[in-house]
Structure 1
């Protein structure tokens, strides 16, 4: 299962909608969507039992999805509380869900001012693209509909003047022509047909033969655009999801040994020296081993409180080092947020999130 893509126009925005799967088995796919998002719609099932199951700390996915969004730098979230028809458009039910989810989102460091709460019913078309017509909802809710909430999302600043940087989320190959198109979101720079590019970590160089933005042919694309770039002069077998497209004069770093600053998440199993984890950065996933527990950190100041701890447990902040089985394209968080945000997973659960603080060159 992959991330579904759709496009529509609101009054202020051309919107690219990435519909990520919600099941726990597809969290890596959800991560792929979160890496490209400027904002998010967190859909909550309001029905009795379903919300409680989804919000359960051990089995539900709502908490993990929220953590993933925040970990990848998403700040603006529309919380769409769906299936309100099943609970009779109850304001009490809406307020209860808002209280529980809101408290958790605050613990994830989302700001109240960046959260928009929308009660709706997709089945009965209530509060989706227009104000609700059902008096059971309109009698107590006078806020924006979902479409208006999307329209109010603020566009982030784009790094158009910086060198090209595009993490590749998919590679589409043409078996008949032996060509490949690299798909993803331009994190920095701009491209047009004829632009020179490099694929990392292979180092293959070529040019852009043609490009599409939001599935439409175009002559230029800039930072923030979702594109498919048809590559010329590059071995199609050397391009895959998790690679990074960059300017030949500004190649991204490739590494197997990293120092990370992480927060161990609630409910996670302890992280030990030698722990085998799944390392996620942009669209890359790699097997990782914890090779050093450097220090525990004060969660507020980031200053070391204990050197060389024996293990890391839930809610602890720490510095650690990981060794990756294969090289990945990565930068320190201070150099590139897109290539410096990381997640660590184990046994189908996200156990820690954080950022790359140092790339270690092994002798």
Structure 2
């Protein structure tokens, strides 16, 4: 299960924090009292309420744009671009790097190893470095034209490896399309687009939060 477009609001009640979010459900189902992870900060919380179109619901499914509240985390730990996922079913993880196929638009410069543009993926806005140009491929067929090219120019397509400069959560396009397609931005404009074809995930850190703790 993945939820993105995380936009938090908060309200203090007694000695705990209840946070309200809006988001789009990508897969599976959100239910009341479900334990969820917030990635890439590895926070764990519990879903307390779910609302859609001003109607309170017990569960929602893929494609729904919903509001939901969680208990067990501090609103200051949550930022735009984070991903909420089922803590007990393939939870999302921070990526150390990812492999992508990109297409370069009408960009006056060349994309070479070391280039660090901003990647816009779902609601994340993170600078990522091109650490390796793996191959240049045909835009129409995907056939490899050249291995380890020195650069990619306008109109060309290639397979590349990128490393985020800040914690980021992306997924393979084949698994979660909305979390696996991105735009490449430089000089305040889109200079290319891409899809994620493989990810290298960081080893998960111990989750923080109150989900799973016994009630007092």
> Which category describes the TM-score, using the shorter chain as reference length?
0.7 to 0.9
Structure 1: runs of 5+ lacking an equivalent: 1-163
Structure richer in strand, relative to its length? 2
| TM-score under structure 2 length normalisation | 0.84
- 1:201 maps to what in 2? 40
Distance 1:312 1:226 in 2: 38
CA positional deviation for 1:174: 2.2
Q: 1:168·1:245 contact (CA, 8 Å) conserved in 2?
A: no
| TM-score under structure 1 length normalisation | 0.52
2:4 equivalent to 1:167: yes
Q: 2:106·2:155 contact (CA, 8 Å) conserved in 1?
A: yes
Q: Which has the higher contact order (CA 8 A, sep 6+)?
A: 2
Distance 2:133 2:41 in 1: 31
Distance 1:327 1:234 in 2: 18
2:32 equivalent to 1:211: no
2:76 equivalent to 1:237: yes
Q: 1:268·1:351 contact (CA, 8 Å) conserved in 2?
A: no
Deviations 1:270-325 (A, max 9, x none): 21221120011111111111111111101121121011222211111101111111
2:31 equivalent to 1:192: yes
CA distance 1:258–1:176, shift in 2 (3 Å): same
Match of 1:344 among 163, 173, 184: 184
Distance 2:92 2:7 in 1: 18
- 1:254 maps to what in 2? 94
Distance 2:106 2:144 in 1: 21
1:286-301 matched pairs, under 5 angstroms = 286-301=126-141
Q: 2:37·2:92 contact (CA, 8 Å) conserved in 1?
A: no
| Higher CA-based Rg | 1
Deviates more, 1:287-296 or 1:169-178: 169-178
Structure 2: runs of 5+ lacking an equivalent: 204-216
Q: 1:256·1:326 contact (CA, 8 Å) conserved in 2?
A: no
Q: Secondary structure at the match of 1:332?
A: coil
- 1:220 maps to what in 2? 59
Deviations 1:255-276 (A, max 9, x none): 1311110011134532122112
Q: 1:268·1:350 contact (CA, 8 Å) conserved in 2?
A: no
**Number of aligned residues:** 200
- 2:165 maps to what in 1? 325
Q: 1:200·1:329 contact (CA, 8 Å) conserved in 2?
A: yes
1:57-72 matched pairs, under 5 angstroms = none
